[in-house]
């Protein structure tokens, strides 16, 4: 696909209103959809949407000096400089502002006043909600794949707020983020507006979520873990020229074991694989400070 040409506006929709096949409130059905189709829509109630609203508002009023102080690029933590990350094409950087929150770095955050700010405490709350959903989903997916090894992921996973302001847009770019797969086990995505495209059976679909729904998609670390049973989902973010800036609250789920078995018992250097992907997005290796 040429990423500079304007894509056709006629995208088929993925929506819980249109298809029962990929939608159910039960985690069991979501796990089945994730394994078989590489994505699922989950109804999770309104609190994450409220967290996203709050965080987007707070992000807009956070001063540059505060952003600079609470920025730990070497561990992908805190405010990330805009124009640094990309979807494997360094010429086409992500057109967003990013704030990352890691549960495992809370102790080191506590010496900064910013850790008492509404943006930070809301990120903390969002992480706790995401973690509970992810723990249940991964438990059921493991059982479905007959995978017995523990997957401890909380300390290797992080919440990411992406805000796509007008000032970062590029009129020659059709996408705010180019086509990619995430290189995680799974990614939970809670956007506040349309624009997310997922490539299913070779065709881009526009994801249309209700306010109390989120999308979970598979990444190539789950493909490794499952010996190819679960394929990674490629996706992009289309610039729809929305009247208000688009924002997305994301939970990137990793389990950075030096070695762990696959479903078939093959040894996987999971941390090394994850770092390869992470570096391809313009990031430093995980936990590298």
Q: Report, in Å, the least distance between residue 150 CB and Fe ion.
A: 26
The tokens for 222 are 């789950």
Q: Give the residue at shortest CB distance from Fe ion.
A: 182
Where does residue 264 rank: exposed (0-12), middle (13-18), buried (19+ CB within 10 A)? exposed
Q: Report, in Å, the least distance between residue 233 CB and Fe ion.
A: 9
77-to-3, 98, 106, 161 alpha-carbon distances in Å: 29, 10, 11, 11
* Cβ neighbours for 200, distance < 8 A, ≥ 6 positions apart: 14, 37, 38, 39, 233
Tell me which residues in 133-192 interact with Fe ion (CB under 5 A). 182
If the CB atoms of residues 78 and 232 are measured against Fe ion, the closer one turns out to be 232
If the CB atoms of residues 182 and 224 are measured against Fe ion, the closer one turns out to be 182
Q: Report, in Å, the least distance between residue 39 CB and Fe ion.
A: 12
If the CB atoms of residues 184 and 271 are measured against Fe ion, the closer one turns out to be 184
The tokens for 243 are 């009247």
| Pairing mode, strands 203-208 and 13-15 | parallel
DSSP 8-class letter at 36: H
Q: Report, in Å, the least distance between residue 264 CB and Fe ion.
A: 27
If the CB atoms of residues 182 and 204 are measured against Fe ion, the closer one turns out to be 182
If the CB atoms of residues 237 and 263 are measured against Fe ion, the closer one turns out to be 237
If the CB atoms of residues 151 and 186 are measured against Fe ion, the closer one turns out to be 186
Q: Report, in Å, the least distance between residue 60 CB and Fe ion.
A: 23
28 and 140 Cβ atoms separated by less than 8 Å: yes
If the CB atoms of residues 182 and 213 are measured against Fe ion, the closer one turns out to be 182
59 and 99 Cβ atoms separated by less than 8 Å: yes
105 and 77 Cβ atoms separated by less than 8 Å: yes
The CA distance from 200 to 234, in Å, is: 8
Q: Report, in Å, the least distance between residue 7 CB and Fe ion.
A: 17
If the CB atoms of residues 62 and 98 are measured against Fe ion, the closer one turns out to be 98
Tell me which residues in 237-266 interact with Fe ion (CB under 5 A). none
| Pairing mode, strands 158-164 and 97-102 | antiparallel
Q: Report, in Å, the least distance between residue 197 CB and Fe ion.
A: 11
The CA distance from 10 to 70, in Å, is: 42
The CA distance from 255 to 42, in Å, is: 22
The CA distance from 4 to 208, in Å, is: 24
Q: Report, in Å, the least distance between residue 235 CB and Fe ion.
A: 6
The tokens for 5 are 């040409």
How many residues lie near Fe ion (CB under 5 A)? 1
Task: Kindly list the residues in this chain that would bind Fe ion in the complex (CB under 5 A).
Answer: 182
């Amino acid at each position: 696909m040429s990423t500079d040409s304007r894509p056709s506006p006629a995208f088929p929709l993925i929506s819980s209103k249109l298809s029962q096949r990929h939608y159910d409130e039960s985690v069991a059905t979501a796990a089945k959809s994730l394994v078989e189709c590489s994505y699922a829509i989950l109804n999770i109630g309104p609190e994450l949407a409220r967290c996203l609203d709050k965080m987007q508002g707070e992000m807009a009023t956070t001063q540059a000096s505060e952003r600079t102080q609470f920025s730990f690029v070497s561990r992908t933590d805190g405010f990330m400089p805009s124009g640094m990350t990309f979807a494997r094409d360094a010429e086409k950087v992500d057109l967003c502002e990013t704030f990352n929150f890691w549960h495992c770095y809370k102790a080191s955050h506590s010496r900064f006043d910013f850790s008492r700010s509404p943006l930070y405490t809301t990120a903390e709350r969002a992480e706790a909600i995401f973690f509970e959903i992810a723990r249940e989903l991964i438990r059921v997916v493991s059982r479905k794949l007959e995978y017995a090894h523990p997957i401890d992921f909380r300390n290797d996973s992080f919440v990411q707020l992406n805000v796509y302001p007008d000032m970062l847009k590029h009129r020659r770019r059709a996408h705010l983020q180019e086509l990619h797969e995430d290189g995680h086990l799974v990614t939970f995505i809670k956007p506040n507006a349309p624009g997310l495209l997922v490539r299913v059976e070779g065709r881009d679909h526009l994801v249309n979520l209700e306010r109390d729904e989120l999308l979970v998609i598979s990444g190539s670390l789950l493909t490794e873990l499952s010996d190819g049973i679960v394929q990674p989902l490629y996706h992009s973010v289309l610039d729809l020229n929305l009247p208000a800036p688009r924002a997305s609250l994301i939970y990137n789920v990793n389990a950075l074991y030096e070695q762990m078995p696959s479903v078939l018992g093959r040894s996987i250097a999971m941390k090394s694989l994850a770092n390869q992907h992470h570096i391809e997005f313009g990031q430093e290796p995980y936990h590298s400070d």
